[in-house]
A = this chain, B = another copy of it.
Amino acid sequence: MYFEGAEKRLSLTLAAGCPSLRALGDAYWRRALAKSDTEILSKLSSEQCDAYLLSESSLFVWHDSLVLITCGNTRLIETVLSLVESLGRDQIASLSYQRKSEILPALQTSRFEEDIARLGTMLSGAAYRIGHLDGHHHHIFFSGSKVRLKPAQTVQMYHIRGELADYLLSDGQTIAGIASRLNLSQLLSGFDIDAHLFSPLGYSLNAIRGEDYFTLHITPQETSSYVSLETNLSLGAGLNGIVGKLLNRLNPVSWDLAGYEAETLAYCAKQYSLEARGELALADGQGLYVKHYKQRDCEQLLPVAL
């Protein structure tokens, strides 16, 4: 009853004038993803974006950029190295490779430091950790120029509770049942949605609207539940409201926000306090901004029999 929800993440942007990434076709992505034992389950397209729902999370491909997220014990670094080689390092204007702190790092097949030792032989860049090792933290390798990465805000929620959390553990759950309980039609108004329910547990959603993307992944396992979302919507342009509604429905013990653009609004829900914040300056005004929130009330910890 354990699944590693914490994500590894690749974001890259091509140099101006490169051939379109979208023209590479499904078979190209299938081969690249196979390097990390990840499969394409379905695909959704808009005029600007192809959204692949994966056996472990999501891939979004635009004309000149991509965002690839995988969870579980996937070896995303293998796909990253393969893509850098196949696309050509000179074609890559900016790249970030990230790992959110895993819940059970001892079960991973590599450490971030090992991944970037390999990546660093192909691309010059710098690597950082933000957040303490004994709590939630982000690892990031950044190889950048003046070409910006896709703007992205990510939210990670830990230990969800309540009616919806119970439903997400139940046998009878359905994609429609989750959509209605999350009120997705209102939450993601105007987005096309592709969702998948995993067996025995787990839910993934990709949504696109023109250039915009939104993805949600739920690992509801009882003692290690984890929910993450990522989107290019800014907090000011609707994300603040979406996060507030999801927090109300999922009621996590703690949650983190990490974004590539300085946020203009600070989310404030009465039941949470901001316990830590930090920022990492990257190239040319870009940065990674992180915030950690925790419920204000003292939590009652329940022993887990092993």
Query: Which residues does A use to contact B, with CB under 8 Å?
Result: 101, 103-106, 108, 111-113, 116, 126-136, 139, 158-159, 223-224, 253, 273-280, 290, 292, 294, 298-306
Q: Are A277 and B304 in contact (CB under 8 A)?
A: no
Given contacts A278-B303, A298-B274, contact A224 B126 (CB under 8 A): no
Copy total for this chain = 2
Nearest CB of chain B from residue A285's CB, rounded to whole Å: 16
Q: Are B136 and A223 in contact (CB under 8 A)?
A: no
Residues of B within 8 A of A112 (CB): 306
Q: Are B294 and A127 in contact (CB under 8 A)?
A: no
Report which of B103, B130, B300 forms a contact with A134, defined as CB distance below 8 A: B103
Nearest CB of chain B from residue A5's CB, rounded to whole Å: 10
**Complex CA–CA separation, A294 to B135 (angstroms):** 12
Nearest CB of chain B from residue A207's CB, rounded to whole Å: 27
- The closest CB in chain B to the CB of A306 belongs to B127
Given contacts A132-B159, A134-B136, A135-B135, contact A298 B275 (CB under 8 A): yes
Given contacts A103-B133, A106-B106, contact A306 B276 (CB under 8 A): no
Residues of B within 8 A of A273 (CB): 298
Residues of B within 8 A of A104 (CB): 105, 133
Residues of B within 8 A of A299 (CB): 275-277
Report 8 cross-chain contacts, Cβ distance below 8 Å, ordered by A residue. Answer: A112-B306, A116-B306, A129-B306, A132-B253, A133-B224, A276-B299, A277-B300, A290-B301
Residues of B within 8 A of A300 (CB): 276-278
- The closest CB in chain B to the CB of A116 belongs to B306
Given contacts A106-B111, A275-B298, A294-B275, contact A101 B304 (CB under 8 A): no
**Complex CA–CA separation, A244 to B140 (angstroms):** 37
Report which of B101, B136, B306 forms a contact with A113, defined as CB distance below 8 A: B306
- The closest CB in chain B to the CB of A226 belongs to B134
Given contacts A101-B134, A105-B105, A108-B106, contact A278 B306 (CB under 8 A): no
- The closest CB in chain B to the CB of A298 belongs to B274
Residues of B within 8 A of A116 (CB): 306
Report which of B139, B158, B276, B279 forms a contact with A132, defined as CB distance below 8 A: B158
**Complex CA–CA separation, A108 to B104 (angstroms):** 12
**Complex CA–CA separation, A306 to B127 (angstroms):** 5
Q: Are B304 and A129 in contact (CB under 8 A)?
A: yes
Q: Are B306 and A223 in contact (CB under 8 A)?
A: no
A-B pairs, top 8 by smallest CB distance, nearest first, are A278-B301, A276-B299, A127-B306, A280-B303, A105-B106, A128-B303, A130-B303, A129-B304
Nearest CB of chain B from residue A214's CB, rounded to whole Å: 24
Report which of B133, B275, B276, B290 forms a contact with A223, defined as CB distance below 8 A: B133
**Complex CA–CA separation, A129 to B223 (angstroms):** 10
Nearest CB of chain B from residue A228's CB, rounded to whole Å: 13
